[in-house]
Structure 1
């Protein structure tokens, strides 16, 4: 069975419309040609026609138009291919493993391929539709005519127990995508008589991590990379979240409920204090903080939020709470005080249920298993593992040491197989004309947007202070993890990415809509009732900030400019 060798690693400490920069062409870099369309002439016989080493096609099903509906829109007729690659029995845990996948091939094909990076710890083959943003997007890649693949990343059971098998760890980290890519392109060639003219890779959360990993490990395989809220330092972010749980436990009023350490009312108090200092910095008092960097200088937790002189009643934070919150927002540290993960911006989206879920529920339910069973060397004993006990009583120092460790069974550390390789150096991607678009919610509670900002600044520095001719970063004000929060989070970034890759139209901004009551795709309950339910805002390419023009409808993106 073929295995992929690991190179060196250097880790870092209504439909929206597109606004396109004038000029549009990046003349200093190669201009890739546009994809040409094709037609799928048959479907069910592809089960016997598709042939690739170590690959079994289990089914080829003709899916009629309208059978699948995504984003409120019936998906056109297409062919669903299911299969698996590299089946094996683990010599370590005795379980069966394979890389499971499905491909959806439209009859009316636009000549493009989209690799769908999925979230969490993978473990299931999610419907291969290809998201254009983190959640509740207005369309999808399959609707646009892309051939799309989705996979379980090498294990068929959700959860963390697969981490006992060393190869399953590597497949989850980076090898499944590298293994599936040539197979998928070969299958497309069989189905259409030609391979894809242009290939794109995208996802949010762990899917964003998958995309950044592919950009550094497979820069020749894909022409466009759509990166959402990337957990590109996922083992460190998860360990930081566990450290946060331990800190919130010290101020919680109930040992069974971490959220009592920083209640919804108290989080709303802080968000409102942030808005009081920062809302108007972009020229509009509208419940959104566009200028995140200026806000961090303007807001001071100790000064701007009342300190309780008596019992906590929601109108203040205790001195102990302020100490905990300030320390966590400044970045998680080990026992010697060294920071091992990013700091966080104070923002307007702290009071949501989504924010609370990641901070108070995820440490025991998601992070503990991932750290203890997928990333530690050696892993914890799966049969006796208790996520709550691990997250609340485990040593952060030990976790950090073990996710960086290797042994004769687990020959790559989590800081190797999970992280992109030297992510500040995207020269191979850049020099062949490929492009990258990145977005990140500034109220993301699990992966800090400041971490992404720091990465992008390092990318700029590696490119003479400006990487905008091949990579652009779009902070999403108020958005929680991939979606939700008091925000405008419904947008299409795949269309502008294609236009940039294939037409040279560099996107200065992308318009995003709020999902208030009546939204055709999905309502975001976090949208304030005082907003227009269809509020729109430009998502500006960093370091520009959406700024109110001084006149015009404050609910419309047309009244804002990127400055």
Structure 2
């Protein structure tokens, strides 16, 4: 199914036709020339931990997409594994600097895949840095969708040059922004990937980061500019939620199985009317003056243990990433005309501003539920999301799945190609350990996806063994 890049003329200087899987062939990739870009470095990286020795190729897809390709020197399984990136990206290979598999090339490399990722088209000082996008529609286009295809194109050119053969299967894995990229890949490149893993997909950035996150910031800001709900209130609220909702599913296990079934009485907790009002707005999600919902749902019950990182801070200067994302997105990425450094989420107008994000909606979003072209091409997709995700609301993923099922002719028809796993107690992409210890390390969607692609066995679980 994977799109083979036969239309491009690739000239390799100094690489013998028979050379493959050797240090010499790796070094020779430095002299390769291809349309629309160039290799910047190629070196052998020794085997370490579970990773085999590999040829690390760094390349640039013009004008500014930095790409890393990892080619196993031995034991290549003939397949390709591409990883997304998180936040506003901008740091090449950031995920592989840690131990998690999320947005990392490591899971594929460990199993013999040739792997690749990119910085999505810019260099950032951090994953919340969006200054690169200021009045720069070309960079926004690369971040939104172009880096996905260019990473795939260049990686496959390197694979064919190094091994003398094209890959026979392609998988994409990403979470958060990487999940958005996964959704975009299915829509814009339906024949590029045989299998896709889409985790906690931030598939509607203008709706999520522009509208919803601005709503959260405004709801939690008092007239004097102070913060209404902080880490101490989060603890009180979380205790009340767990006490009243843990057993609703019939099991008292420290997690909320489905926050949609959770009804909490917050009276008697010592919260002020101002704090209760802020909490109600967080649970409800953004609305305009007519009461129309502007983004599905709000902050789910059961996510309170993670609020310090995303919403309230920890009282020691850590966390509060939602305000940071909302601020930088609004300043430089959201609007048809960038307002610049003086803009804050307090400036967001819920009556007029959603309509001012039409260009970014077209460039960034992957929330179209019509994935019929991907399904018709034989693609298989695993989507997972934590019910305790306080930043990328799980209700949007559920809504997307329900709409996709309707378009497919029913959930049973959709299940032939798409499997959704909603994970109780799981933080955003499993970054922080949940009350029962669940995090990304407890998940393994790659093994069931491989079984689905290679043996036709539909997945029933993504729990790691």
Superposition TM-score tier, normalisation by shorter sequence: 0.7 to 0.9
Distance 1:250 1:336, change over 3 A: farther
Q: Deviations over 1:164-216 (max 9, x none)?
A: 21111111100121223222212211111111111011111111101100111
Whole-angstrom CA distance in 2 between matches of 1:363 and 1:440 = 18
Do structure 1's residue 423 and structure 2's residue 368 form an aligned pair?
A: yes
SS at match of 1:45: helix
Match of 2:132 in 1: 162
Q: 1:457 aligns with which of 402, 426, 436?
A: 402
Q: 1:305 aligns with which of 237, 255, 266?
A: 266
Question: What stretches of structure 1 move > 6 A for 4+ residues in a row?
Answer: 130-134, 136-139
Whole-angstrom CA distance in 2 between matches of 1:61 and 1:458 = 46
**Cα displacement (A) at 1:357:** 5.4
Match of 1:554 in 2: none
Whole-angstrom CA distance in 2 between matches of 1:512 and 1:345 = 27
Whole-angstrom CA distance in 2 between matches of 1:102 and 1:234 = 25
**Cα displacement (A) at 1:63:** 0.6
Q: Which TM-score applies when normalising by structure 2?
A: 0.85
Match of 1:350 in 2: 304
Match of 2:57 in 1: 81
Match of 1:520 in 2: none
Distance 1:131 1:457, change over 3 A: farther
CA contact (8 A) 1:265 1:351 kept: no
Do structure 1's residue 443 and structure 2's residue 388 form an aligned pair?
A: yes
SS at match of 1:80: strand
**Cα displacement (A) at 1:242:** 1.5
Do structure 1's residue 40 and structure 2's residue 21 form an aligned pair?
A: yes
Do structure 1's residue 141 and structure 2's residue 111 form an aligned pair?
A: no
Higher relative contact order (CA 8 A, sep 6+): 1
Whole-angstrom CA distance in 2 between matches of 1:345 and 1:165 = 32
CA contact (8 A) 2:388 2:428 kept: yes
Match of 1:220 in 2: 191
Whole-angstrom CA distance in 2 between matches of 1:400 and 1:134 = 34
Q: 1:101 aligns with which of 67, 87, 105?
A: 67
CA contact (8 A) 1:238 1:446 kept: no
Whole-angstrom CA distance in 2 between matches of 1:345 and 1:397 = 21
Q: Which TM-score applies when normalising by structure 1?
A: 0.71
* Structure 1 gap segments, 5+ residues each: 1-37, 67-72, 88-97, 308-314, 405-412, 514-563
Q: Deviations over 1:500-529 (max 9, x none)?
A: 11211111112258xxxxxxxxxxxxxxxx
Do structure 1's residue 482 and structure 2's residue 429 form an aligned pair?
A: yes
Do structure 1's residue 61 and structure 2's residue 37 form an aligned pair?
A: no
Q: 1:197 aligns with which of 168, 187, 191?
A: 168
Q: Deviations over 1:61-102 (max 9, x none)?
A: 001112xxxxxx342100100010113xxxxxxxxxx11111
Match of 2:329 in 1: 370
CA contact (8 A) 1:131 1:139 kept: no
**Cα displacement (A) at 1:425:** 1.3
Q: Deviations over 1:340-361 (max 9, x none)?
A: 1121363223133324358983
SS at match of 2:172: strand
SS at match of 2:158: helix
Whole-angstrom CA distance in 2 between matches of 1:120 and 1:113 = 24
Match of 2:232 in 1: 265
Whole-angstrom CA distance in 2 between matches of 1:119 and 1:358 = 20
Whole-angstrom CA distance in 2 between matches of 1:168 and 1:134 = 27
Q: Which moved more, 1:218-227 or 1:141-150?
A: 141-150
SS at match of 2:409: coil
Whole-angstrom CA distance in 2 between matches of 1:396 and 1:328 = 15
SS at match of 1:443: coil
Within a 5 Å distance, the mapping from 1:517-528 to structure 2 comes to none
Distance 1:440 1:244, change over 3 A: same
**Cα displacement (A) at 1:363:** 4.5
SS at match of 1:43: helix
Match of 2:215 in 1: 243
Distance 1:431 1:503, change over 3 A: same
Whole-angstrom CA distance in 1 between matches of 2:451 and 2:312 = 37
Distance 1:178 1:46, change over 3 A: same
Q: Deviations over 1:253-290 (max 9, x none)?
A: x845x3xx223232223222222332223332110122
Whole-angstrom CA distance in 1 between matches of 2:106 and 2:322 = 32
Match of 1:153 in 2: 120
**For the aligned residues, what is the CA RMSD?**
2.7
Whole-angstrom CA distance in 2 between matches of 1:330 and 1:471 = 29
Within a 5 Å distance, the mapping from 1:123-134 to structure 2 comes to 123-126=90-93
Larger helix proportion of the pair:
2
Distance 1:78 1:128, change over 3 A: farther
Whole-angstrom CA distance in 2 between matches of 1:367 and 1:471 = 31
* Structure 2 gap segments, 5+ residues each: 1-18
SS at match of 1:415: helix
Distance 1:357 1:171, change over 3 A: farther
Q: Deviations over 1:117-152 (max 9, x none)?
A: 101112221157599976599962211111111111
CA contact (8 A) 1:104 1:129 kept: no
**Cα displacement (A) at 1:51:** 3.5
Aligned length: 427
Whole-angstrom CA distance in 2 between matches of 1:133 and 1:331 = 30
CA contact (8 A) 2:179 2:201 kept: yes
